[in-house]
Amino acid sequence: MASISVPVGGVPTQAAPRPRLRASDFLRWSVDHKIIGVQYMVTSFVFFLVGGTLAMLIRWELLTPNLDLVQTGSQYNSLFSVHGLVMIFLWIIPMFAGFGNYLVPLMLGAKDMAFPWLNAFAFWLIPPAGILMLGSMLVGAPEAGWTQYPPLSTLFSGDGQTLAALAVHLLGISSILGAINFIVTIKNMRPAGMSYWQMPLFVWAILATSIIVVMATPFLAGGLTLLILDRIAGTTFFDANRGGDVLLWQNVFWFYSHPAVYIMVLPGMGVLSDVLTTHSRKPIFGYKMVALSSLAIALVGFTVWAHHMFTSLQPALRIPFMITSMIIAVPTGIKIFSWLGTIWGGKIRFTSAMLFSLGFLSMFVIGGITGVMLAMIPFNLHVHDTYFVVSHLHFVLFGGSVFAIYSGIYHWFPKITGRMLNERLGRWHFVLTYLGFFFTFFPMHFIGMLGMPRRVAVYLPEFQGLNTIASISSFVLGLSTFLLVINVIISLRNGRIAGANPWRSLTLEWATTSPPPATNFIGDPVMFPDPYGYGMPEAAAYLESIDRQFGAPARPPVTDKPAPGVTVVESGD
């Protein structure tokens, strides 16, 4: 532990990262958690582009009230079904698994995950699952939405539904294996001296997420097994005419899928806790509360599933779920207010990472509030299965998860590649994404309240105005994604050299070179006792020593700020 001695001297700048890894290194089987992490991220981003393309097609179709892009309603069904399945199971969940893979061992000062081989295996389940999922569109596409409700999914959809179910099954196995790996790593591989209460909040979020994955995903696996049996073996578990029960699917599916909402958003909340503190130079407000509210969300998340079924559940059973759904807003609120308390009075640097985190804060609050609205039974009955629900879930999953993913990309890209992303392009990306997103999904609230049902290609002409706004904005949103792609491509070659710790962050992943060597750390890393102790004099000294050891950024990350050394001293007060 004490083997790192702090050299006394000036601050050297880190040399340009040498080309250490070829692109082919990422196409091979590898057990290095950093390579696996990047593999996860790149793979899922490709699927994001695929799912985004499908979304663009959906919005294109909805420009006019009639069928124009697609010939039949079935084609439209397959568009939104595959869009939902891809975005949830192949983009958000694996993307956060990628973040976790890359960051958790680094944040814990470990050399790798607890089970490197299992880690690689979990990743390599994803490409075949993705091929199955996209292949399903060629053989009679799934048409039952991402929820795959029977009898739509058993009696009506094409063979693609079976393939999609198999794909989700594979992805479920993958994420269970990944989650087991995370939990064991977090429990057993913390460095000596790091208690649970000194872990970065991202690690806490991954821990809570992994607990949900291990306990909830098997529900889906069980349900999908029965669904696949219904489709291929002649059983009738979900066929009400032949002794089955469709409500069984709804219950089992939402046993999984409501907790899965938190699988998709908790890691994003972890990203936010790290980004907001670092970029506003303040300790997190209420560390323990933020950490424990993750666990509280994980726990309460298991008790609210039936609020997705208010219209199909017997009335007497609705009330308890209304109450629990309201309760789960409490830990979420704790987080929101803690973040506000964190940035309040901080020295906020409006970097792209920070902007996306603030975007999350504002958009997720809207999603949260509409969530509470939907938890109220009378309102829910009114807007059930309308565009209001579509709007709500996109505010949570895009305004929440995807904004957090973007924020994380801007924040950790320097660590992963050794080069900074272009801030100017990043800001353009943020502005276009933010506006495009807001004007795509906010009008959907009104469309839904006016009564336009979701999952239809043909609608009443009176909704066309709002739908046109949503569609045009969505094209802006879609195109804005390419700013990130361009930014990554440019910055990989010509980005500023990041140095070890461009954001002056105190968590352990920054206490090594960028990108980290194969063993992550040379010797045992020295941990700063408080991962969010910004503003302490010791923190300034710690950051200084990291610069001395690993080199400082070539130029400061934000051009209008003083040199990094000065920034450190400044942040010490």
Partner 1 sequence: MSNVSVYHETEAHAAHHPSAAERSDNLKFATWLYLASEVVIFAVLIATYVVFRLHNPEVVAQFHEGIQEWPGIWLVSINTFLLLSSSWAMVMGLRQIQLGNRQGLIRWISLTALLGTIFVILQYVEYTELSHKGITLYYNQDSTFTDYGMRFYAPTAFHGFHVIVGVLWALYVVFNARRGRYTATNYAGVEVFGLYWHFVDVVWIVLFTLIYLV
Partner 2 sequence: MADTNQTPLEDRPGSPTTDQPLDPPEQTEAPPVVEGFAAARESLAAAIEEAAPAAHEDQHAGPTHYVGNTTVLFGRVIPLPVYTVVFIALGILTLFELALAEVFPRGGLTIPIMLLASLTKAALVVWFYMHLNSDSRVFALTLLIPVVMVLLATGFLMIVPIGY
- Residues near partner 2 (CB under 8 A) are 1-12, 14-15, 187-188, 190, 192-193, 195, 214-215, 219, 240, 245-248, 251, 255, 302, 313-314, 317, 513, 519, 522-524, 526-529, 537-538, 540-542, 544-545, 548-551, 568-569
553 sits near partner 1 (criterion: CB under 8 A): no
Neighbours of 191 (CB within 10 A): 16
Residue 518: CB minimum distance to partner 2, A: 12
Nearer to partner 1, 36 or 452 (CB): 36
Binder of residue 247, out of partner 2, partner 1, none (CB less than 5 to 8 A by kind): partner 2
Is 433:394 a contact under the CB 8 Å cutoff? no
Binding segment for partner 1 (CB under 8 A), chosen from 283-291, 309-317, 514-522, 529-537, is 514-522
Query: Which of 71-91 are b and which e, b meaning 16 or more Cβ less than 10 Å from the residue's Cβ?
Result: eeebbbbbbbbbbbbbbbbbb
| Residue 21 interacting partner from partner 2, partner 1, none (CB closer than 5 to 8 Å by kind) | partner 1
Length of the chain: 573
Which tokens go with 248? 């069984």
**Which is closer to partner 1, CB of 25 or CB of 538?**
25
Kindly state whether residue 115 participates in binding partner 1, applying the rule CB under 8 A: yes
* Helical segments of 451-517, H only: 464-494
Mapped to the 3 state alphabet, what secondary structure does 101-146 carry? HHHHHHHCCCCCCCCHHHHHHHHHCHHHHHHHHHHHHHCCCCCCCC
Q: 386 φ, ψ to 5°?
A: -110, 180
How far is residue 84 from each of residues 42, 48, 55, 175, 418, measured CA to CA in Å?
Answer: 19, 11, 9, 18, 34
- Residue 207 and residue 237 in contact, taking contact as beta carbons nearer than 8 Å: no
Q: Give 162 or 549: the residue with its C-beta nearer to partner 2.
A: 549
Taking residue 457's Cβ as centre, other Cβ atoms within 10 Å add up to 21
Minimum CB distance to partner 1, residue 264 (Å) = 19
What one-letter code names the amino acid at 58?
I
Q: Given candidates 95, 226, 447, 470, which one binds partner 1 under the rule CB under 8 A?
A: 226
Among 85, 108, 114, 206, binds partner 1 (CB under 8 A): 114
Work out which of 221, 329, 450, 541 binds partner 1, going by CB under 8 A. 221
State the SS3 of 157-201: CCCHHHHHHHHHHHHHHHHHHHHHHHHHHHHHCCCCCCCHHHCCH
Could you say which residues in the range 408-427 bind partner 1, by CB under 8 A?
A: none
Q: Which is nearer to partner 2, 196 or 344 (CB)?
A: 196
Pick from partner 1, partner 2, none: which does 529 bind, CB < 5 to 8 A by kind? partner 2
**Rule CB under 8 A: is residue 214 a binding residue for partner 1?**
yes
Separation of CA 216 from chain center: 17
Is residue 32 involved in binding partner 1 (CB under 8 A)?
A: yes
Q: Tell me whether residue 117 or residue 196 sits nearer to partner 2 (CB atom).
A: 196
Footprint (CB under 8 A) of partner 1, residues 152-191: 176, 179-181, 183-184, 187-188
Q: Which is nearer to partner 2, 72 or 188 (CB)?
A: 188
Which of partner 1, partner 2, none does residue 31 bind (CB under 5 to 8 Å by kind)? partner 1
Judged by beta carbon, residue 169 or residue 454, the one nearer partner 1 is: 169
Q: Which is nearer to partner 1, 463 or 510 (CB)?
A: 510
Q: Which stretch binds partner 1 (CB under 8 A): 110-118, 152-160, 303-311, 425-433?
A: 110-118
Q: Can you tell me the distance from the alpha carbon of 374 to that of 379, in angstroms, rounded to the nearest whole number?
A: 6
Q: Please select the residue that binds partner 1; options are 517, 537, 562, 563, rule is CB under 8 A.
A: 517
- SS3 (DSSP) at 562: coil
225 binds, among partner 1, partner 2, none (CB under 5 to 8 A by kind): partner 1
Tokens describing residue 50: 């695929």
User: Of 73, 75, 198, 239, which lies in the binding site for partner 1, with binding defined by CB under 8 A?
Assistant: 239
User: Which residue blocks in 2-32 are alpha helix, DSSP H?
Assistant: none
Decide: is 42 part of the binding site for partner 1 (CB under 8 A): no
Burial (CB count <10 Å: 0-12, 13-18, 19+), residue 292: middle
Task: Tell me: cis bond preceding 453? Omega within 30 of 0 counts.
Answer: no
- Give the H or E element holding residue 447: helix 423-450
Binding flags for partner 1, 249-268, as an x/- string (CB under 8 A): ---x----------------
320 binds, among partner 2, partner 1, none (CB under 5 to 8 A by kind): none
Question: Using the rule CB under 8 A, is 523 a contact of partner 1?
Answer: no
Q: Which does 176 bind (CB under 5 to 8 A by kind): partner 1, partner 2, none?
A: partner 1
Q: Pick the stretch among 109-117, 266-274, 527-535, 555-563 that binds partner 1 (CB under 8 A).
A: 109-117
C-beta of 33: minimal distance to partner 1 in Å? Answer: 9
| 568 lies in the site for partner 1, by CB under 8 A | no
Collapsing DSSP to helix, strand or coil, 336 comes out as helix
6 binds, among partner 1, partner 2, none (CB under 5 to 8 A by kind): partner 2
- CA dist 210 and 217 (Å) reads 10
d(C-alpha 215, C-alpha 211), whole Å: 6
Q: How far apart, in whole angstroms, are the C-alpha atoms of residue 4 and residue 18?
A: 24
Q: CB under 5 to 8 A by kind: which of partner 2, partner 1, none does 44 bind?
A: none
CA distances from 105 to 30, 102, 418, 510, 521 (A): 16, 7, 18, 12, 11
Q: At what angle do helices 423-450 and 403-417 cross, to 10 degrees?
A: 160
Residue with tokens 């440019």: 490
Least Cα distance to 335 among 386, 266, 383, 280 occurs for 266
List contacts with partner 1 (CB under 8 A): 17-18, 20-21, 30-32, 111-112, 114-116, 118, 176, 179-181, 183-184, 187-188, 214-219, 221-223, 225-226, 229, 233-237, 239, 242-245, 248, 252, 513, 515, 517-519, 522
